[in-house]
Amino acid sequence: MRAAVCTAALAFCASAVAAEQGGIIPLPASVAPGSGGFEVNSATTIVAAAGDAVKAGRYLAQLWKRSNGLVLRVEAHTPGARGSVIIFRKAPGFGLEAYRLEVAPNQVTISASTAAGLFYGAVSLWQLLPAGIKDGRIPAQTIIDEPRFAWRGLMLDSSRHFQSPAFVRSMIDWMSWHKLNVLHWHLTDDQGWRLQIRRYPRLTTVGGWRIPAGIPGVPAEKPYGGFYTQDQVRDIVAFAATRHVQIVPEIDMPGHAQAAVAAYPALGTATGDRPPKLVVSSKWGVHTHLFNLEPNTFRFLENVLDEVLQLFPSRYIHVGGDEAVKDEWNASPGVQARARELGIANTEALQSYFTQEIGRHLAARGRRLVGWDEILQPGLPSDAVVMSWRGVDGARAAARIGNDTVLAPQPILYFDRRQSSLASEPTGRMEIVTVEDVYRFEPVDPLLSKDQQRHVLGLQGNLWSEHMPNEARVEWMALPRAAALAEVAWSSAPRNWPDFISRLAAMQPRYRAFGVTSADSLFGIDAHIARAGEAIGVTLANLPELTGAGLDTRIRYTLDGREPTTSAASYTEPLTVAAGTSIHAATFLGKEQVSRTWSEHLDAHSAARRSSSELELCSNRVGLLLEPVAREGEFSSDAPIAVDIMNPCWIYRGVDLQQGPGIVAAVAALPFNYELGADAASIQVGDARSPDGELEVRLDRCDGTLLGLLPLAPAANRAGVTQLPAQRLPVQSGRHDVCLKFARPRLDPMWGLEWVEIGG
Ligand code: ACM
């Protein structure tokens, strides 16, 4: 058979590519199928003569050992005896990260000119053998591959929540499996300074710790925080080098500086006659405290950066620049006097001065300044890199004036958004950014010329961690969206969503083998339970982005308490079951179970009960999924509460009120720890009738007739979810929408509705 050569330009080859390449994410640039296949088993030897080839060969052996249980030797020379060989060799003529992977019967050859190229060849070969297989056949093929973009990144926010050094190493590891190569490490912010600076110990002894937010009346037992010692950072940076990941540290300035100012008040902006007296913030949102513009403050920042440069060899050093609201600078006699000395009339332009001063310091040390797109002001150093986060306009503007840029636009590359509407999503922002949204992100801007487009270094996803209080949650929010991002950033092959899903399914057992959490939202089950006469009706569905892909996916279920397998009943239409039945269901792609098992014990309660994420929010100005705990850092076994913090209010559609049904609600007091500036004044607290307030139940609309009033007193000053005493609602004809909203005496605590049951 003559092998077809498929390149990025030949879209019609996509299905041949899918069949031949196993499960490589990101899709290689070019795959030419061969004939026959390569048998890999314990008689296979990895041959690598020296240096980088040995490192790549050993890494491949390590990966296969963990995900496949396949143990291979790495030898310097081809053994004379039987058995297939995998040869790693350095060869001239390849690009910086490029490699060739030739799979032929009895021999695989991975060639590259660099250590990174050999490493990526090893990672691709690893993924050509499905996980769990110790004795398999990899189809013959030739892969010629190199990245589309040089910057393929993720940003980790270690300030809002702190992750252990072991987690950061593990993240670097799984990033490298996707050929992601930049970890932008957000190390400082209002809520914590996380990097040890020897010259200024208070940055971490004071700035590294905060009193966690909590509801009034629930005291904090200990401060929340942590920091990375310089030894730990050196260790992480060295590890990252072995995975070809560059760490770009971020020291945010002149805003997001509250933790630093709490540690060293003289750095802050005085609006009266004393330096500001601040604590490390335990609130989320945009804070107003900025560094001042005194020469001593610049010396401080330069000294900090000098220690940063000692630790991080990256050419790129990120200095933030985002969300520096100028209220304090405008109000500060000291800053205004300094502005006059500098001859800068406009307070906004002071930020430009700030960027230029810091940029000069970095340039003199051979480094390039990176900043969020607010740095895009007249006088921006020509080698500064603009990270475009307020959409892609910043990237376009930067490229047009000849500055390099990185695409990190919200919302699509902001991985703090939830991934689906499923009730199984953990805490995060309510706005939905699906894996498919990320996969379909188009980094080529049609409004840029080819020359301007060359200034787009690449793209990155941002893991802002306000609502990722532990490491498993960071992984859940990152994966598999990071896999989709990797494909966009690396692969010049045409996008093929169904094919990507199949390769993603093949990655899942690898994530599991390494103990890495990956969200299964894409494959998850959307379940609706309703009363059906005396019985219970159950409707199950996959999400549209899965069903629309046209793959062989199906939901299988059992009603006898057993785990679903491929021989379980296939769901084809809504089920009607007797109360007391337990249902277990899961999504299968071919023979593989690709979702976790969803299960529910069905009774009258499940038919009448709706969690907050199953209800409709009355508005979605700042919609969040929040942990129902009294104190930040604690965890609940209850589902997160979906709430618009600007308007805690929910709608239960189409409720049968003919019998004058009972109502039960479960609620939780939630800390109101948000820095909203003037917007806070627009929040309506309602008309509380008692010291702790009430949950109002209204007919049809949120200003409709009051049907019920559930006092919050039983839940006040209590941690977690409290079920309020049941009430009976007055009889109404037919079905109605019901609005549920809180009337509270003050903003803090905010109240959240965990679930409501009407007529159970
Ligand atoms: C940002 O999200 N403030 C860069």
Q: What is the pLDDT of residues 314-344, one digit of tens each?
A: 999 999 999 999 999 999 999 999 999 999 9
Q: Which protein residue's CA is at the shortest distance from atom 2 of ligand 1? A: 389
pLDDT (tens digit per residue) in 152-171? 999 999 999 999 999 999 99
The pTM for the full model equals 0.95
Q: Where are the alpha helices (DSSP H) in 190-317?
A: 202-205, 230-242, 258-263, 295-311
Check pocket membership of 389 for ligand 1, CB cut-off 6 A: yes
φ, ψ (nearest 5 deg) of residue 674: -130, 135
Centroid of ligand 1 to alpha carbon of 369 (angstroms): 17
216 pLDDT band, cuts 50/70/90, is: confident
- Work out which ligand 1 atom sits closest to the CA atom of 464: 2
Check pocket membership of 656 for ligand 1, CB cut-off 6 A: no
User: Which of 190, 191, 318, 389 gets mutated to test ligand 1 (max ligand atoms within 8 A of its CB)?
Assistant: 389
Mean pLDDT value of segment 190-202 = 98
Centroid of ligand 1 to alpha carbon of 297 (angstroms): 23
pLDDT (tens digit per residue) in 368-397? 999 999 999 999 999 999 999 999 999 999
Check pocket membership of 322 for ligand 1, CB cut-off 6 A: yes
Lookup: tokens for 481: 């969206």
Check pocket membership of 415 for ligand 1, CB cut-off 6 A: no
Mean pLDDT value of segment 117-139 = 96
- Work out which ligand 1 atom sits closest to the CA atom of 414: 2
Judged against a pLDDT cut of 70, whether residue 17 lies above it is answered with no
For residue 382, which amino acid is it? S
Q: Where are the alpha helices (DSSP H) in 189-266?
A: 202-205, 230-242, 258-263
From edge to edge, which strands make up the β-sheet containing 417-418?
417-418, 428-432, 623-626, 641-644
Share above pLDDT 70 across residues of the chain, in percent, rounded to a whole number: 97
pLDDT of res. 217: 79
Q: For the chain, give the longest Cα–Cα distance.
A: 88
Centroid of ligand 1 to alpha carbon of 158 (angstroms): 14
pLDDT (tens digit per residue) in 673-699? 999 999 999 999 999 999 999 999 999
Check pocket membership of 372 for ligand 1, CB cut-off 6 A: yes
What CA–CA distance (Å, rounded) separates 24 from 33?
Answer: 14
Q: Which protein residue's CA is at the shortest distance from atom 3 of ligand 1? A: 322
Check pocket membership of 284 for ligand 1, CB cut-off 6 A: no
Centroid of ligand 1 to alpha carbon of 52 (angstroms): 38
Burial label, 122 (beta-carbon count in 10 A; 0-12, 13-18, 19+) = buried
- Work out which ligand 1 atom sits closest to the CA atom of 372: 4
Judged against a pLDDT cut of 60, whether residue 22 lies above it is answered with no
Catalytic residues: 189, 256, 323
User: Which of 157, 189, 372 gets mutated to test ligand 1 (max ligand atoms within 8 A of its CB)?
Assistant: 372
Give the least confident one: 8-12, 33-37, 234-238. 8-12
Output the CA–CA distances (angstroms, integers) from residue 741 to 215, 351, 687, in the order listed: 19, 43, 11
For residue 400, which amino acid is it? R
- Work out which ligand 1 atom sits closest to the CA atom of 320: 4
Judged against a pLDDT cut of 80, whether residue 701 lies above it is answered with yes
Centroid of ligand 1 to alpha carbon of 290 (angstroms): 15
Centroid of ligand 1 to alpha carbon of 467 (angstroms): 15
Judged against a pLDDT cut of 80, whether residue 599 lies above it is answered with yes
What CA–CA distance (Å, rounded) separates 251 from 206?
Answer: 17
